[in-house]
Homo-oligomer: A and B are copies of this chain.
Amino acid sequence: MIEQALIDDRAVDLGDANLTELELLAERSGINLADGHARQVLTTSQQRIVEGLAELFQEAQRSSVPRLDRQAQTAFLTALGQRRAVACADVLTCYSSSVAMEILARSAHAVGLRRVGLIHPTFDNIPDILRGIGMRLVPLPEELLQAAGPMSDVDVELMFVTTPNNPTGTVLTEDQLARWAAWCAARGVVLVLDTSFRGFDPRAMYDHYAVLDDAGVQWVVIEDTGKLFPSLDLKTGFLAFARNLCLPLRRIYTDILLGVSPLILRLVVALSEDAASGGLASLHRTISANRAALRTTLSEPGLGHWPDPDNRISVDRLALPPGLEATTVAEDLRGRGVQVLPCPKFHWASPTDGERFIRVALGRPEQAVRQGAEIIREYLLEQRGGLS
């Protein structure tokens, strides 16, 4: 009864739902290949860490919280190749990357920034938070960000880039980052990166902080442990920023939190050390195997194609066969017991462009990906039959 009531009172209009509302629905039933949280099986060494949670609690109890906080930041950032961060960044540990995002947006608004250039497409809670705070958004297509030619004259005060991008997996290379950092520095534009998916892709593990620091730009980087470690969403976001940054991040931060649980900090230290000593490589194998299972299952002609062949992050896009619309496909698949995300909301400036794509999460047990892929395959085969 309680479960029924819950579902009733959380009913949402699917057509109007944001991506997180669709993800919430996906948590309730069937095979959830919707949200991008880490839900793969714990590795043996991660399992051992989790089995020691009671001891980690005791250790955290005895520790200095500021020291543990800095240890978590350092362990995570260095595991992901961000060695300069420790030297050049102030870092505020947040409950999540979205809370870091909210603090960033509120701080930028507080000093009068309004015009934001934002990568397109990207996960919809980024444009939704920015708009909700009162920002005016200018779409920055991925192609523009990657172009080698002369820099387009974009009139913005803040530039926001998700790299690797969600859902495409597109990575801003070191050269591209250096160019945009110089461009922002010359114009007094604040450059913000969301690197939550960094840990999946070695090409995104060059030292971004060194590039940003050397460029002398005003910069902010949002990091996230939650996409990598399947620790039941015991996670942190990190809001890292240049020491000379003109935004009141610390003040807005302390309006919202005193800090993150020291047990979570201790757990992040342990999981990051594990990541550095083999855990990341293991994660890459898991995601790669799941991606291969998905793509192989859907490899027959006429079932769509894979628009992001180089994508390494824990989600994958399928471009649907002509004639199919993602919103309908996702709803049909939900009816068959598998949850994926339709992509219109990712294309926040031109939603209909997203109707060609669905997004499938890969941070899952391989069996779930295989079963989900099989259901998607059967559905698309039927559609192909119906369309031909």
Asked whether, in the complex, the Cβ of B90 is within 8 Å of the Cβ of A9, the reply is: yes
Question: Does A18 belong to the interface (CB within 8 Å)?
Answer: yes
Q: How far is the CB of A269 from chain B (nearest CB, A)?
A: 13
Residue-wise interface mask of A (1-45) relative to B, using a CB-CB cutoff of 8 A (1 in contact, 0 not): 011001101101000001011011001100000010100000000
Question: Does A154 belong to the interface (CB within 8 Å)?
Answer: no
Q: How far is the CB of A286 from chain B (nearest CB, A)?
A: 17
Q: How far is the CB of A101 from chain B (nearest CB, A)?
A: 8
Question: Does A153 belong to the interface (CB within 8 Å)?
Answer: no
Residue-wise interface mask of A (332-359) relative to B, using a CB-CB cutoff of 8 A (1 in contact, 0 not): 0000000000000000000000000000
Contact of A3 with B132 at beta-carbon distance under 8 Å, contacts A99-B256, A251-B18 already known: no
Contact of A6 with B261 at beta-carbon distance under 8 Å, contacts A51-B54, A99-B99, A255-B128 already known: no
Q: Could you say how many copies of this chain the assembly holds? A: 2
Option from B12, B90, B102 in Cβ contact (under 8 Å) with A256 = B102
11 contacts between A and B (CB under 8 A): A20-B255, A20-B258, A27-B258, A28-B66, A99-B257, A102-B256, A106-B132, A125-B256, A232-B262, A234-B261, A234-B264
Q: How far is the CB of A262 from chain B (nearest CB, A)?
A: 5
The 3 closest A-B pairs by CB, nearest first: A20-B254, A53-B53, A95-B95
Which residues of chain B come closer than 8 Å to A106, judged between CB atoms? 132-133
Question: Does A211 belong to the interface (CB within 8 Å)?
Answer: no
Residues of chain A from 215 to 269 with CB closer than 8 A to chain B in the complex: 232-235, 243, 250-252, 254-264
Q: How far is the CB of A28 from chain B (nearest CB, A)?
A: 5
Option from B6, B57, B254, B261 in Cβ contact (under 8 Å) with A24 = B254
Q: How far is the CB of A85 from chain B (nearest CB, A)?
A: 12
> How far does the alpha carbon of A323 sit from the alpha carbon of B339 in the complex, in Å?
67
Asked whether, in the complex, the Cβ of A54 is within 8 Å of the Cβ of B52, the reply is: yes
Asked whether, in the complex, the Cβ of A258 is within 8 Å of the Cβ of B2, the reply is: no
Contact of A28 with B61 at beta-carbon distance under 8 Å, contacts A232-B262, A256-B129 already known: no
Which residues of chain B come closer than 8 Å to A259, judged between CB atoms? 24, 27, 233
Question: Does A138 belong to the interface (CB within 8 Å)?
Answer: no
Contact of A3 with B66 at beta-carbon distance under 8 Å, contacts A232-B262, A254-B21, A261-B233 already known: yes
> How far does the alpha carbon of A70 sit from the alpha carbon of B3 in the complex, in Å?
8
Given contacts A98-B257, A232-B263, 12 further A-B contacts (CB under 8 A): A3-B64, A3-B70, A18-B255, A24-B66, A24-B254, A27-B258, A96-B257, A99-B99, A106-B133, A125-B255, A132-B252, A235-B261
Question: Does A381 belong to the interface (CB within 8 Å)?
Answer: no
Asked whether, in the complex, the Cβ of A35 is within 8 Å of the Cβ of B125, the reply is: no
Which residues of chain B come closer than 8 Å to A7, judged between CB atoms? 66
> How far does the alpha carbon of A27 sit from the alpha carbon of B66 in the complex, in Å?
7
Question: Does A65 belong to the interface (CB within 8 Å)?
Answer: yes
